[in-house]
């Protein structure tokens, strides 16, 4: 990423990420489509309500993976082969520890968390089943993210795409087999997901052991290098806290959605699955911006780092808004694919039509955060996200409830309002930031 046409490098790196994220989204969407059509809206509500909880718990560890990617990309850009090897093996070792810890946390805390967010009694058994089985696959999920994080830090986004395509197809086949044929309920959907996650982890790790590059994985070298781990933690923990707290704020929002019953849970949940697709360009170009900036800063080409960040941010914003406009007009038809109940369609479509035209604000926040993270400045995005997407989001929601009572429209409006606030804060900081001050 340190030479050649910036638009060409960014686009050719981002497009496989876009396709990969599409298939990643199929994991959860296949669950929802099959569950909604075969098991009904109670089961769909259970799967949907578990989504924010899962993101809250795994979001922190995904942030640590981001920190590892920044460190590896910086060493690759600087052509430091020894430190690249150290960073790779520390990253994979850390992934094993994190995966086990996440399984323990998810399994032990599930009932408490589901009760705290007010999961309705008629949804609780299925939510708990899905949640617990899903977290049995934590090690596969984490190791997959750690290993493909190494590949993406090196500029390889094609092989992660291949692994995701195969695992997503396997996930859909297992969903149909476990739910439609064996009648395993929502537990079957969770089991299909974790089996496909382990498959993708095994494929990516196997590839890393065979690649003839400085970032090759040699299992016997896997160990924690303390200094490298501390650098990864310093960059990754703020990103992890940011993800976890955003997840927490979404859980608070979900608790308000739960107040309106299973129809609202199903409608908002279906809208959230669709938004996952709409956010793919945001995620893809954000993921491309971070290693691009980090590699070029490692090579001390600060102007190229800034130009790449600018191009990625622009692409992110334009594509997100185009998709938002499309979703605005197609909202009722898209929700109907998940559940044909008129009330569910009405609620889900209203949620999309309130938020979709403001996707440009969401994408701007994510893209600028990715550029700053690539520069090693992960604390600033954390502070902005904590302020806007957690403190203000929860405060606005709780204040509106106190003033006007529970209103479903308030739950919908709170998202674009806080996206706008974070975008302003990010722009003010980013326009004043000098990439030459970037250090690990």
Q: How does pLDDT run across 75-128, given as a tens digit for each residue?
A: 998 899 999 999 999 999 998 998 888 888 878 887 887 777 677 777 788 878
Rg for the chain, CA atoms, rounded: 21
Alpha carbon distance 136, 395 (integer Å): 34
Enumerate residues 6+ apart whose C-beta is below 8 A from 328.
Answer: 352, 353, 356, 357
> Does the structure show a pLDDT above 70 at 313?
yes
* Nearest Cα to Cα of residue 226 among 100, 87, 376: 87
DSSP symbols for 55-104 = HHHHHHHHHHHHHHHHHHHHHHHTT-HHHHHHHHHHHHHHHHHHHHHHHH
Task: State residue 67 phi and psi, 5-degree precision.
Answer: -60, -40
The model carries a pTM of 0.78
Q: Which segment of 162-176, 204-218, 268-282, 340-354 scores lowest on mean pLDDT?
A: 268-282
Tokens representing residue 256 in the block? 């308000």
Tokens representing residue 191 in the block? 């089991």
Task: State residue 405 phi and psi, 5-degree precision.
Answer: 80, 180
Would you say 231 and 74 are in contact if contact means Cβ atoms under 8 Å apart? no
For the chain, the domains span: 6-437
pLDDT tens digits along 4-58: 899 999 888 888 888 877 776 666 666 677 877 787 777 777 676 666 667 666 7
Integer angstrom CA distances of residue 409 from 208, 260, 399, 415: 48, 12, 14, 11
Query: What's the average model confidence in pLDDT over 403-418?
Result: 82
Residue 219 confidence (pLDDT)? 92
DSSP symbols for 235-259 = HHHHHHHHHHHHHHHHHHHHHHHHT
Query: What's the average model confidence in pLDDT over 261-272?
Result: 81
Query: Helix, strand or coil for residue 115?
Result: helix
What is the DSSP-derived secondary structure letter of residue 178? I
Alpha carbon distance 407, 418 (integer Å): 18
Residue matched to tokens 């310093």: 234
Task: State residue 229 phi and psi, 5-degree precision.
Answer: -60, -40
Would you say 321 and 360 are in contact if contact means Cβ atoms under 8 Å apart? yes
> Does the structure show a pLDDT above 70 at 417?
yes
Enumerate residues 6+ apart whose C-beta is below 8 A from 331.
Answer: 271, 348, 349, 352, 353, 356
Tokens representing residue 255 in the block? 């608790």
With b for 16 or more beta-carbon neighbours within 10 A and e for fewer, the 302-332 pattern comes to: bebbbbbbebbbebbbebbbebbeebbeebe
Enumerate residues 6+ apart whose C-beta is below 8 A from 231.
Answer: 67, 71, 440
* Nearest Cα to Cα of residue 68 among 153, 10, 144: 153
Residue 183 confidence (pLDDT)? 84
Mean pLDDT in the chain?
A: 85
Enumerate residues 6+ apart whose C-beta is below 8 A from 372.
Answer: 378, 380, 381, 429, 430, 433
Enumerate residues 6+ apart whose C-beta is below 8 A from 136.
Answer: 103, 107, 194
What sign has the CA pseudo-torsion 69, 61, 265, 423?
negative
């Amino acid at each position: 990423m340190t030479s050649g046409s910036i638009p060409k490098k960014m686009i050719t790196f981002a497009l496989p990420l876009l396709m990969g994220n599409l298939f990643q989204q199929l994991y959860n969407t296949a669950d929802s489509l099959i569950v909604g059509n075969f098991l009904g809206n109670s089961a769909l509500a259970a799967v949907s309500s578990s989504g924010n909880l899962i993101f809250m718990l795994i979001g922190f560890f995904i942030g640590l993976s981001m920190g590892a990617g920044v460190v590896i990309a910086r060493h690759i850009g600087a052509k430091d082969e020894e430190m690249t090897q150290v960073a790779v093996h520390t990253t994979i070792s850390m992934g094993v520890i994190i995966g086990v810890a996440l399984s323990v946390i998810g399994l032990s805390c599930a009932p408490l968390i589901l009760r705290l967010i007010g999961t309705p009694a008629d949804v609780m058994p299925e939510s708990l089943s899905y949640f617990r089985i899903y977290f049995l696959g934590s090690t596969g999920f984490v190791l997959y993210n750690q290993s493909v994080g190494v590949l993406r830090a090196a500029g390889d986004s094609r092989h992660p795409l291949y692994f995701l395509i195969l695992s997503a197809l396997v996930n859909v086949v297992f969903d149909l087999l476990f739910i439609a044929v064996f009648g395993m309920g929502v537990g079957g959907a969770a089991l299909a997901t974790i089996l496909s996650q382990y498959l993708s982890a095994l494929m990516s790790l196997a590839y890393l052991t065979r690649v003839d590059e400085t970032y090759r994985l040699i299992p016997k070298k896997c160990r924690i290098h303390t200094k490298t781990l501390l650098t990864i933690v310093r960059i990754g923990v703020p990103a992890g806290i940011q993800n976890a707290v955003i997840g927490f704020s979404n859980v608070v929002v979900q608790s308000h959605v739960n107040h309106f019953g299973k129809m609202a849970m199903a409608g908002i949940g279906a809208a959230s699955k669709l938004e996952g697709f709409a956010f793919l360009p945001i995620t893809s170009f954000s993921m491309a911006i971070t290693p691009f900036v980090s590699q070029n800063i490692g090579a001390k080409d600060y102007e190229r780092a800034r130009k790449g960040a600018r191009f990625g941010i622009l692409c992110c914003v334009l594509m997100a808004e185009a998709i938002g406009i499309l979703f605005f007009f197609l909202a009722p038809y898209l929700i109907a694919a998940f559940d044909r109940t008129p009330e569910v369609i009405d609620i889900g479509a209203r949620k999309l039509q309130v938020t979709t035209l403001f996707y440009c604000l969401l994408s701007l926040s994510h893209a600028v955060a990715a550029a700053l993270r690539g520069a090693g400045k992960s604390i600033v995005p954390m502070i902005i996200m904590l302020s806007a997407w957690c403190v203000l989001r929860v405060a606005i929601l709780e204040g509106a409830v106190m003033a006007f009572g529970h209103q479903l429209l308030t739950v919908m409006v709170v998202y674009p309002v806080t996206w706008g606030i974070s975008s302003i804060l990010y722009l003010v900081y980013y326009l004043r930031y000098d990439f030459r001050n970037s250090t690990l």
